Amino acid sequence: MIKWRNVSSLDFYKLMLGGFLFLSPWLFGFVHTSASLDAWMGGITLMATSAAALLIFNDWEEWLALFLGAWMIAAPWVLSFPHIATKIHLIAGLICAYLAALELWLVHFDQRGSMDSEHTRG
């Protein structure tokens, strides 16, 4: 059974964002092959990572989502995407990176700004 954590909703939002990114080549008519391929692979990876984080949380899932967000921000310039694909990747990357960083912050720091004792014990 899935144990719902306080920050599980952030993983659910990333799951939905991954689905949107996966469907974006069809929704927005990407004709650039590398933009479509990157959207499909990025969407599948983000959905898999988010689903795994919903089932069993580990820090590496959030770090992977943060890296994936950074890649989505950089990919349009690295792979020379057309205008609409650039916008979609940039917006999705910013949202993904923000949600992953926010979840890492909320998991490791309590409201007073000190380290959470549950995660600092060996």
Res 120 pLDDT > 60: no
Contacts of 38 (CB under 8 A, 6+ apart): 72, 75, 79, 81, 89
Looking at per-residue pLDDT, the higher value among 67 and 60 belongs to: 67
Looking at per-residue pLDDT, the higher value among 104 and 68 belongs to: 68
Distance CA 80, CA 85 (A): 10
Q: Which backbone phi and psi does 13 adopt, to 5 degrees?
A: -65, -40
Distance CA 90, CA 14 (A): 15
From the number of C-beta atoms within 10 Å of its C-beta (0-12, 13-18, 19+), residue 49 rates as buried
Res 41 pLDDT > 90: yes
Distance CA 112, CA 45 (A): 34
Average pLDDT for 60-73: 92
- Give the pLDDT of residue 1: 45
- Give the pLDDT of residue 21: 94
Q: Average per-residue pLDDT in the chain?
A: 84
Average pLDDT for 65-69: 94
pLDDT tens per residue across span 77-100:
999 888 889 999 999 999 999 999
